[in-house]
Amino acid sequence: MKTVKTPPNETERLASLKASGLLDTGPAERFDRLTRLAKHLFDVPVALLSLVDENRLWLKACDGLDAAHREMPRDTSFCTHTLLQDSPLIVPDTHDDTRFQTIPLVANAPHIRFYIGYPVRLPDGGQAGAFCLMDTEPRELTPQQISLLGDFAAIVEDEFALLNAATHDELTGQLNPRGFHSLAAYALSAHRRRGEFMTLGFITLDNYQDIVAGAGQEAGDNALRDLTRVLKGAFRDSDLLARLDHNQFVILFADTDEKGAWIAMQYLAERVEEFNSRARRDGSLAVSWGVAQHDEANGSLEQLIKTADKRAYSAKPLGKRADR
């Protein structure tokens, strides 16, 4: 199989996919229902919804392949090619297409001969994967059938949007507590297995209440949006950023010890100063922070947050929270 190019926005796409909370989760009836229905309507042996991760293909829903195929290498999959285009990828006969003649699903059981995949996107426009049909015999689809498959892909995208609303903060667009706890718990477990460091930063907008009291709620909301933009500009796409409370944010640094997280937070402080140098006096941001490394003393996510929060509290100029 020939080397497959990656999308030009690959870094942003992967960050969006990981933040969606769709990867490495159990079966979801909302997607399983769609693959069952598509398999029946199109009379094919396989219908699936794939998500294209950094090095692998993860089947979020599948009807027709056994559990051994739920995860497979990205570079030997059909959907890696589908990811590169806006229109459906159609392969009437895999034996006639040099891109796919030797990939496992074709060369080995179930010996796929036909494939069509419709790209599916996340709410921010990032490509997530594809809604696909496969057959063990060569075949063609009518324009009406291809259009119907597009409707299935649109339904998938609607479901993505509903899930995104349940796990993301409406004001800032970042993860909300529910979304953060779900993804962070998985991240901590994965990094623990690999023996990697993880560190959490706790950040508060200390003058939030003063802004609201002096200029109103809209000004307070604008300050939170401004801080969110500064945070996103200061940290890596691979780090998990969330808004926990009205003026409290957390960032989970992947593969980073406490010293590395401290350096990252110092960079954040510099970015805040740069923002304040450009902002009007009543639009400036007063921010304090603390960090805590995941270890035996901070074994749970709750304890990790509590420790970083306590250190952020100690860093506040007035020695107390702005929201208490």
Q: DSSP letters of 199-244? A: EEEEEEETTHHHHHHHH-HHHHHHHHHHHHHHHHHHS-TTSEEEEE
- What average pLDDT does the segment 158-175 reach? 89
Of 121-125, 200-204, 298-302, which gets the smallest average pLDDT?
298-302
CA 300 to CA 294: how far, in whole Å? Answer: 8
Tell me how far apart the alpha carbons of residues 148 and 146 are, in angstroms, rounded to a whole number. Answer: 5
pLDDT band at 28 (very low <50, low <70, confident <90, very high): confident
Sign of the Cα torsion 252, 254, 256, 260 reads negative
Give dist(CA 223, CA 217) in Å, integer: 10
User: What's residue 317's pLDDT?
Assistant: 53
pLDDT confidence of residue 322:
31
The Cα–Cα gap between 16 and 125 comes to 9
pTM to 2 decimals? 0.68
Where b means 16+ CB within 10 Å and e means fewer, 149-180 reads beebbebbbebbeebbeebbbeebebbbeebb
182-186 contacts, C-beta under 8 A, 24 or more apart: 182/21, 183/18, 183/19, 183/21, 183/240, 184/240, 184/252, 184/301, 185/301, 186/24
- pLDDT of residue 277 exceeding 70: yes
Residue 243 contacts residue 176 (beta carbons within 8 Å): yes
Q: Which of 51-55, 179-183, 189-193, 290-294 has the lowest mean pLDDT?
A: 189-193
Res 318: pLDDT: 38
**Residue 292 CB: number of other CB atoms within 10 A?**
23
Q: Kindly state the percentage of the chain with pLDDT values over 90.
A: 62
Please give the pLDDT value at position 56: 93
**Residue 254 reports pLDDT greater than 60:** yes
Q: Please state which of the ranges 6-15, 271-280, 298-307, 313-322 shows the lowest mean pLDDT.
A: 313-322
By percentage, how much of the chain surpasses pLDDT 70? 95
Tokens coding 54? 């950094």
Q: Is the pLDDT of residue 12 over 90?
A: no
- The tokens of 238 are what? 């691979």
Q: Are 308 and 201 in contact (CB under 8 A)?
A: yes
Average pLDDT on 232-242 reads: 88
Whether the pLDDT of residue 214 is over 70: the answer is: yes
**Exposure of 182 by Cβ count < 10 A (0-12 exposed, 13-18 middle, 19+ buried)?**
middle
Categorize the per-residue pLDDT at 321 as very low, low, confident or very high, splitting at 50, 70 and 90.
very low
Both tokens of residue 252?
Answer: 């989970």
State the DSSP code for 26. Answer: -
How big is the chain, counted in residues? 324
Q: Are 172 and 182 spatial neighbours (Cβ–Cβ below 8 Å)?
A: no
Band (272; pLDDT cuts 50, 70, 90): very high
Helix axes 258-278 and 217-234, enclosed angle (nearest 10): 130
pLDDT at 21: 80
* Average pLDDT in the chain: 89
Confidence bin at 26 (pLDDT 50/70/90): confident
Asked if pLDDT for residue 225 goes beyond 90, the answer is yes
Distance CA 319, CA 321 (A): 7
Distance CA(125)–CA(127), nearest Å, equals: 6
Confidence tier at 188 by pLDDT (50, 70, 90): confident
Band (pLDDT 50/70/90 cuts) for residue 193 is confident
For residue range 68-88, list pLDDT tens digits in order.
778 899 999 999 999 999 999
pLDDT higher than threshold 90 for residue 145: yes
